[in-house]
Amino acid sequence: MTIQVTLVQIDNYGPWTVTPEPRREMDLQTLQSRLFADVAQFLGHRDAYVFSTRFDNMIAVTNGVDGAAHATLQESIGNRYPVSISLATGVAARPIDALEAANERLQIEGSAQDEGRTEVLSGEYLSETDRSDIQIAHFDVVDATGKYTDRLNEFDTYSTIQAAYGSLMRYLRRKHGALAFFVGGDNVIAVCPDLPERAFNAAVDHVAADVEVALQVGVGRGSSAHEAGFAAKHALEDCRHDGTSVELFGAPAAGD
Amino acid sequence: MTIQVTLVQIDNYGPWTVTPEPRREMDLQTLQSRLFADVAQFLGHRDAYVFSTRFDNMIAVTNGVDGAAHATLQESIGNRYPVSISLATGVAARPIDALEAANERLQIEGSAQDEGRTEVLSGEYLSETDRSDIQIAHFDVVDATGKYTDRLNEFDTYSTIQAAYGSLMRYLRRKHGALAFFVGGDNVIAVCPDLPERAFNAAVDHVAADVEVALQVGVGRGSSAHEAGFAAKHALEDCRHDGTSVELFGAPAAGD
Amino acid sequence: MTIQVTLVQIDNYGPWTVTPEPRREMDLQTLQSRLFADVAQFLGHRDAYVFSTRFDNMIAVTNGVDGAAHATLQESIGNRYPVSISLATGVAARPIDALEAANERLQIEGSAQDEGRTEVLSGEYLSETDRSDIQIAHFDVVDATGKYTDRLNEFDTYSTIQAAYGSLMRYLRRKHGALAFFVGGDNVIAVCPDLPERAFNAAVDHVAADVEVALQVGVGRGSSAHEAGFAAKHALEDCRHDGTSVELFGAPAAGD
Amino acid sequence: MTIQVTLVQIDNYGPWTVTPEPRREMDLQTLQSRLFADVAQFLGHRDAYVFSTRFDNMIAVTNGVDGAAHATLQESIGNRYPVSISLATGVAARPIDALEAANERLQIEGSAQDEGRTEVLSGEYLSETDRSDIQIAHFDVVDATGKYTDRLNEFDTYSTIQAAYGSLMRYLRRKHGALAFFVGGDNVIAVCPDLPERAFNAAVDHVAADVEVALQVGVGRGSSAHEAGFAAKHALEDCRHDGTSVELFGAPAAGD
Ligand SMILES: Nc1nc2c(ncn2[C@@H]2O[C@H](COP(=O)(O)OP(=O)(O)OP(=O)(O)O)[C@@H](O)[C@H]2O)c(=O)[nH]1
Ligand SMILES: Nc1nc2c(ncn2[C@@H]2O[C@H](COP(=O)(O)OP(=O)(O)OP(=O)(O)O)[C@@H](O)[C@H]2O)c(=O)[nH]1
Ligand SMILES: Nc1nc2c(ncn2[C@@H]2O[C@H](COP(=O)(O)OP(=O)(O)OP(=O)(O)O)[C@@H](O)[C@H]2O)c(=O)[nH]1
Ligand SMILES: Nc1nc2c(ncn2[C@@H]2O[C@H](COP(=O)(O)OP(=O)(O)OP(=O)(O)O)[C@@H](O)[C@H]2O)c(=O)[nH]1
Ligand SMILES: [Ca+2]
Ligand SMILES: [Ca+2]
Ligand SMILES: [Ca+2]
Ligand SMILES: [Ca+2]
């Protein structure tokens, strides 16, 4: 299992947002979400995943995307936006270690708010990919519509989902060095190291005990984020179909 | 103080994402963030604010935006996306109560996953606006770049900011019926009822005690979300300039 | 009949496209078409029309859109693109004269490639609107699909449509000071001064004689471009339904 | 010299634009230009070019882009737009013949307005690419800013540029089976078969005699549209620098 992670960072963004005076918030929101959408399209079409995270910093799983493609992405954003981006890439067995390696490459070049440090492109890229390089878990709240969306006000629903996400994210990070991201609705996608089925059962149990939200999770593997994530989505459909709470793609979850 | 809140909900989105089979995640991400960007542009140009929240459900502060404009937005999205949206609007003194009213209008029409319940447009709209209708607080982490971005890996930075956001959001909701949203970077925008300066000091203290993150906050008022939010941004610049942790627009924060 | 026309010009765009060296053409194309789309959304939601024209210069019919809205548009583009725009607005009975007035306001401030001349915002704006301020004609090729799209190669189809458009555009400009724009497919939208039905018959006849392309046209009036244009579209549907070649909204075209 | 051309056609678009009743024109314009921008980004990042042409039908030069990438593009558009696209690809020595081949593959499947004919994906794809597969000429008006943009009203400038484009496009099509596209501003990009320098001189002379517009042109070659087009842009910079009217990349144009 080898994961290639890319950190996408907008260069010197903080100062730009308030120079010469604060910019309209909805323009910043539009800029940020369109930039994310463009990166998602670029990487998505290469079977990679990117997560919006803090929007000024985004985390991507880029197995199969080489340095030349990273350079093209950087140039294209620079040509079309009033801001530029830096890209740093790392490789490791655990997602968190790959991200650490990527981050260090960027931090060594200077601060995120250093005017002189722009368009860094630094990284190591996997030259080969393997069918089982990546394991992705797609978590989802059981019956979110019936329990929350159709009953509570949206802020309280959101708050509940965020609490579940926070609990899950911190658990997976601490326990396994996995990176979990909220992707909208009631969905969380976790990029994992090599984990057995019982680890997912334990995660679901942890969240249920911690914040009383019932999760179900599909788990998949593949040579790219898309392949692993797609298998995970199909496995999640199996949970829905069979009423199970964990499904590994290809095999029913033990105890379900 | 009177707040008009609009709930934006994608109709029957859950089933669509998996029909006829699961759709590529990066396409969903692109769709969601572009839809949000379009709503942000539409409402932003009318001096309203919208927050991405769960993406399939977005919360907007729409003082000054009438029913006809809401109808135009709904039609335009319907014309350009493979999904449609419902819009429900409520009015109240406290943000949470306005949202509740909006939400009920939608829930009464059917479930978010009811195929037959599409393009609901329901609401009451303020016919007048007043200079002090809205109070917005723009919170931001003190020296996020130096303490986190340039030092930790991005996931741990993100996790820290999320923890601060979670703590702040739940505090403001419980204590004041305020709605706080993460807007990227290290920023949280809170839509508040009529609150005195000490309430903001207390919020900052709460987060510091709860999760050990130091916040600063600018507070502004206006007849629209943009006006109030813009004043808040300027007040936040005063915090930065003077090293204070709370600034009300126009007056220095007591005790700073 | 009073028409308000706005010229949208990207500031100093030529030099930008080749500095420091030529930029990738597909990035320029993306930038240009997204900028156009953003202007179209902004103005369209205010019932105005904008045409892509040369992309670095766009022509808009903006009855009902005031100076403040123009300023908001300019600021929003400046916040989100690597280029800025100038906006000049003129008012007259004939479209071409309104455009002339707008253009002069811009040209007087300096060249389109003058580095120092950026974000010009200059114009007179109609303070009132009237139901019959604008007359719009929506022209379309009869059975373009059957005669061209399904038979010829796309370039020859395109060439035929362009020839028809060129013939029509020059005729309407010369004869009536009307501004006709190709809007995709087989469609041309003409912004007209006050013209009687026989003028449209003559235009259709001219194109048939000049380049042997059969057109049909719906004509509408309104206080805004959208109102007039929408009536024109409905009138065009009447042409399709009745097999006529000219329909004025509300009354069948004489001689059909 | 071998060119791979892809025809992109929106499925059954005409009926969609008027069902259940005519859609707002600015929404159609936005949809069309964003769809074009998305195709431009997708293909552009693979070193291909696409031209907006009639927007419901677009023509692309796709040497180096295989069938799998075409399938990904089609799926992604289908996931994010209310309309779908068909893609047909052909290969030949002359651009027009490659397009003919592509077009026939689509026409054989049914009409552009046949409800049942959606998401056609049909084509032959080059398995190898060569440094001199593609020849692209980038034409541009000499001093367009000084002669037209800064002097005339924008419509008359546009009309002049369109006349020059029409003249050039028809000449190149008839004489050489080349496909020339207006790409904004005063620029025309022509996809050519193998042509000697004097052919470009003749084209420039033709337009000068026909419509009295002075052109300059840079010509480049490459294994992809981007490579050839980029070389052409650099050659055009040489024209600007040296005051010549034709430059082949690498060699000064004879007689200049
Ligand atoms: N990003 C993303 N969001 C999704 C996906 N599938 C569903 N969603 C979101 O999740 C929300 C809830 O949908 P579901 O999970 O299908 O509905 P539910 O009510 O929780 O029902 P069950 O999950 O079937 O128990 C939807 O509105 C979407 O916003 C997906 O694959 N990716
Ligand atoms: N949405 C939004 N994000 C902002 C805004 N201003 C700054 N940011 C984000 O916040 C991040 C951190 O920037 P700053 O807050 O300026 O930097 P800092 O290091 O925390 O320094 P100080 O706040 O000055 O103590 C930036 O990268 C942006 O992502 C804003 O007005 N709106
Ligand atoms: N911009 C724009 N384009 C349109 C509109 N209606 C149709 N089109 C375009 O025109 C093309 C041809 O469609 P139609 O005009 O409906 O088809 P037709 O074969 O010419 O048949 P008839 O016009 O009914 O004789 C479509 O593919 C669209 O690109 C419109 O309202 N606006
Ligand atoms: N699509 C595209 N448009 C361009 C490019 N370069 C310039 N333009 C457009 O062409 C317009 C005119 O710019 P120039 O051609 O640089 O200016 P000019 O006044 O004609 O001067 P010279 O060409 O130097 O004689 C610009 O506003 C752009 O819209 C390009 O590479 N691609
Ligand atoms: Ca669920
Ligand atoms: Ca900060
Ligand atoms: Ca037609
Ligand atoms: Ca030029």
- Confidence check: pLDDT of B21 > 60: yes
Instruction: For residue D103, give the nearest of C29, C154, C189 by CB distance.
Output: C154
Residue-wise pLDDT for C146-200, tens only, equals: 999 999 999 999 999 999 999 999 999 999 999 999 999 999 999 999 999 999 9
Instruction: For residue B24, give the nearest of A50, A159, A226 by CB distance.
Output: A226
- Confidence check: pLDDT of C41 > 50: yes
Chains with ≥3 CB–CB distances under 8 Å to A: B, C, D
- Cα distances (Å, whole numbers) of residue C211 to C150, C165, C215: 20, 10, 11
C-chain residues near A76 (CB < 8 A) = 24, 27
pLDDT for the residue numbered C255 = 37
Specify the CATH class of B134-252 in words: alpha beta
How sure is the predictor about A253, in pLDDT bands with cuts at 50, 70 and 90?
very low
pLDDT for the residue numbered A250 = 60
Nearest CA to ligand 4 atom 5: C17
pLDDT for the residue numbered A86 = 98
**Residue-by-residue DSSP string for chain B:** --EEEEEEEETTHHHHHTSSSPPPHHHHHHHHHHHHHHHHHHHHTTT-EEE-TTSSEEEEE-TT--HHHHHHHHHHHHHHSSS-EEEEEEEESSHHHHHHHHHHHHHTT--TT-TT--S-EEE---S---TTSEEEEEEEETTHIIIIITTS-HHHHHHHHHHHHHHHHHHHHHHH--EEEE-STTEEEEEESS--HHHHHHHHHHHHHHH---EEEEEEEESSHHHHHHHHHHHHHHHHHHT-SEEETTEEPTT-
Ligand 3 nearest-atom number relative to CA D13: 27
Average the pLDDT over B195-206 and give the result: 97
**Residue-by-residue DSSP string for C169-217:** HHHHHHHH--EEEE-STTEEEEEESS--HHHHHHHHHHHHHHH---EEE
A72·D38 Cβ contact <8 A: no
pLDDT for the residue numbered B255 = 38
- Confidence check: pLDDT of D25 > 90: yes
Specify the CATH class of C3-123 in words: alpha beta
Cβ–ligand 1 distance for A56 under 6 Å, the answer no
Nearest CA to ligand 4 atom 31: C17
Residue-wise pLDDT for C169-182, tens only, equals: 999 999 999 999 99
Q: Report the pocket of ligand 4 as residue ranges, CB < 6 Å.
A: C 13-14, 17, 22, 25, 28, 56; D 140-146, 183-187, 233, 240
How sure is the predictor about A252, in pLDDT bands with cuts at 50, 70 and 90?
very low
Give every CB contact of residue D81 below 8 A, 6+ residues apart in sequence. B80, B81, B82, D31, D35
pLDDT for the residue numbered A255 = 38
Tokens 């001093």 belong to residue: D143
* Nearest chain B Cα distance for residue C73, angstroms: 8
- Cα distances (Å, whole numbers) of residue C20 to A82, C17, C41, D234, D237: 16, 9, 32, 12, 12
Q: What are the two backbone dihedrals, phi and then psi, of residue A179, each rounded to the nearest 5 degrees?
A: -115, 115
- Identify from C79, C81, C118 which residue to disrupt to test chain A contact, counting A C-beta atoms within 10 A and taking the largest count: C79
- Confidence check: pLDDT of C143 > 80: yes
- Confidence check: pLDDT of D195 > 50: yes
- Confidence check: pLDDT of C108 > 90: yes
Q: What are residue D218's DSSP bridge partners?
A: D138, D247
- Confidence check: pLDDT of B16 > 80: yes
Nearest Cα to A77, choosing from C230, C15, D244, D41?
A: D41
Asked if C88 and C139 count as a contact pair (C-beta separation under 8 A), the reply is: no
What CA–CA distance (Å, rounded) separates B6 from B61?
Answer: 6
Please state, rounded to an integer, the average pLDDT across all residues of chain D: 95
- CA B14 to ligand 1 center in whole angstroms: 4
Q: What are the two backbone dihedrals, phi and then psi, of residue C23, each rounded to the nearest 5 degrees?
A: -90, 155
Domain(s) labelled CATH 3.30.70.1230 in chain D stretch across: 3-123
How sure is the predictor about C103, in pLDDT bands with cuts at 50, 70 and 90?
very high
Domain(s) labelled CATH 3.30.70.270 in chain A stretch across: 134-252
Average the pLDDT over D176-189 and give the result: 98
- Exposure string for A59-88, b = 16+ CB within 10 A, e = fewer: bbbbbbbeeebbebbbbbbbbbbebbbbbb
Please state, rounded to an integer, the average pLDDT across all residues of chain A: 95
Residue-wise pLDDT for B126-147, tens only, equals: 988 888 899 999 999 999 999 9
For residues A252 and A202, which has the higher predicted lDDT (pLDDT)?
A202
pLDDT for the residue numbered B250 = 60
What CA–CA distance (Å, rounded) separates C54 from C86?
Answer: 15
Contact B73/C at CB under 8 A: yes
What CA–CA distance (Å, rounded) separates C140 from C236?
Answer: 8
What CA–CA distance (Å, rounded) separates B232 from B217?
Answer: 8
For residues C56 and D132, which has the higher predicted lDDT (pLDDT)?
C56
